[in-house]
Amino acid sequence: MEKSELQKLTDNKSERIACELSKGKSAVWTHFAHVAVDGTAVPFVKCVKCSSVLQWKSRDGTSGLHSHVEYCKSRAPQRKITSLSGFASVIQTPKLPSSVKSDVANVMVRWCAKDIRFLKSLHYLTYLTFLNISSRLS
């Protein structure tokens, strides 16, 4: 059976698919289950976390599985903001009178001057907003 077909069956939670937790000694086996189709074991395993099907035979060892675990962990569930320009286009700054804008900027600047830890403790997103506002004002 092709991997893509198997993945489809798995995604559809087909009754033809059975998953069995591995008895393998490696810790990596807490992340994967062996897959059987129509009661017959196939050379595939399923990631418990993301339900991805991976081709796997016992002679392959577990290194490929380990790399999937790392990959799986690195995939953050939330959307990542990769650039300031991308961020600025998402956040639509409301049309505020410029006096209000400068007030906000002044408050933030004073905050920063008062306590430098402000920048470190503040959520990065808010920090970017601050940069955004400042650049619009200047």
The reply to whether 47 sits near Zn ion by the rule CB under 5 A is yes
Task: Compute the least distance from the CB of residue 4 to Zn ion, in Å.
Answer: 16
Q: Which residue has the tokens 């393998």?
A: 24
| Contact set for Zn ion, span 64-93 (CB under 5 A) | 72
* Range in contact with Zn ion (rule: CB under 5 A) among 14-22, 52-60, 86-94, 106-114: 52-60
Distances (CA, A) of 24 to 90, 96, 111, 116: 46, 62, 55, 51
**Residue number with CB closer to Zn ion (45 or 47):** 47
By CB under 5 A, name the one of 49, 73, 110, 136 that touches Zn ion.
Answer: 49
C-alpha torsion 51→52→56→60, nearest 10: -110
Q: How many residues does the chain have?
A: 138
In angstroms, the CA 112 to CA 117 distance is: 8
**Residue number with CB closer to Zn ion (24 or 128):** 24
Rule CB under 5 A: which residues touch Zn ion? Answer: 47, 49-50, 52, 72
